[in-house]
Every structure is written in C-alpha cells, then in structure tokens.
C-alpha cells in the first residue's frame, strides 16, 4: 500500500519550535525511527511551505497513491484551494494535527479542510502520523 505524507508550512522545524505544542523530536527522526518500520506500507514524505504546491501534489497523486496523509499546518484554517483540490481527486485523504487545535487560539477551531476528508486525527503529537497510517489498515 503506497501512502504519501504531505507536510505543509512551518512543519520543517518541528522539534525546535514551541515544544509544549509539538514535542522535541523532528519529523525526519520520527519518520525514520517510528514510521518506515510499519509493515505493509510503502511510505513517501514531502514538505512544502507553498499552498499552491500542496494543490499541485494532490492533483498529481491521484493515480500514484492509495492514500494521502495531510498535515496542512496553517492552511488548515484558511485554504479553500486545498479543500477544492481534495474534492477534485479520488484518493482518500486523512487529515492530521500534531497539537490539539481545539485547545489553542480560537482561529484554529475553524477547519476548512476537514469536511472533505475521509477522517481526522487530532492532538497525539507526532504519533498522530503513525495512527493515521494504521487507519489505512482496514
């Protein structure tokens, strides 16, 4: 099963930034140590700060992956474009939030992308990625 993890803006320096929200391990470390070893999955991972790049990756992933794990970062709360891209493709997208967005600033309660996703994993730290992968098991 081929899965693509897309990480959006500011997710390159997890591990250094606001450790009370995001912990202190980088995504790369976690990816190599905790995710690649899960049997049954062929994992790819990509990072970009660009809203348009995420739109692009989603369009192009349509026939090449069995599932997308998307952490849209800040765009979760503002991007109609990414939402439209998800409705335009047929590969299932699972949305991931590292921190508990419900417990932070009020503007993080607004979620434009969640309504068009297959499922949402919120608040488990970097472990949220692992849970998202496991959600593709059944």
Q: Is the separation of the CB atoms in 35 and 136 below 8 Å?
A: no
Q: Which two tokens stand for residue 33?
A: 């140590």
23 contacts its own copies (rule: CB under 8 A):
no
| Contact status: 46 vs its own copies (CB under 8 A) | no
Residue 11 CA from chain centroid, whole number: 10
Q: Which two tokens stand for residue 116?
A: 């068009």
Region from 39-47, 63-71, 115-123 binding its own copies, contact rule CB under 8 A: 115-123
Residue choice 10, 23, 31, 43 for contact with its own copies (CB under 8 A): 10
User: Among residue numbers 65 through 104, which ones bind its own copies (CB under 8 A)?
Assistant: 73-75, 77-81, 83-85, 87-88, 100, 102-103
Neighbour count for residue 90 (Cβ, 10 Å)? 7
Nearer to its own copies, 45 or 130 (CB): 130
Report, in Å, the least distance between residue 44 CB and its own copies: 20
In terms of DSSP bridges, do strands 42-47 and 2-7 run parallel, antiparallel, or are they unpaired? parallel
Q: How many CB atoms lie within 10 A of CB 47?
A: 17
Considering only 10-18, 39-47, 63-71, which stretch makes contact with its own copies by CB under 8 A?
10-18
Could you tell me which residues come within 8 angstroms of residue 14 by beta carbon, excluding any fewer than 6 positions away?
22, 23, 25, 26, 27, 98, 126
Q: Which residues are catalytic?
A: 22, 97
Residues that bind its own copies (CB under 8 A): 8-10, 12-13, 16-18, 34, 48-53, 55-56, 59, 73-75, 77-81, 83-85, 87-88, 100, 102-103, 107-108, 111-112, 114-124, 127-128, 130-131, 134-135, 138
């Amino acid at each position: 099963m081929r899965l693509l993890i897309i990480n959006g803006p500011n997710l390159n320096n997890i591990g250094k930034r606001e450790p009370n929200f995001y912990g202190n391990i980088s995504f790369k470390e976690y990816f190599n140590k905790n995710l690649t070893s899960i049997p049954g999955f062929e994992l790819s991972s990509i990072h970009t700060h660009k809203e348009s790049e995420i739109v692009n990756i989603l369009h192009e992933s349509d026939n090449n992956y069995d599932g997308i794990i998307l952490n849209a970062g800040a765009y979760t709360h503002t991007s109609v474009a990414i939402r439209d891209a998800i409705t335009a493709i047929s590969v299932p997208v699972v949305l991931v939030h590292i921190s508990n967005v419900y417990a932070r600033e009020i503007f993080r309660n607004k979620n434009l992308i969640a309504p068009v996703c297959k499922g949402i994993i919120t608040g488990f730290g970097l472990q949220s990625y692992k849970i998202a992968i496991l959600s593709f098991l059944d």
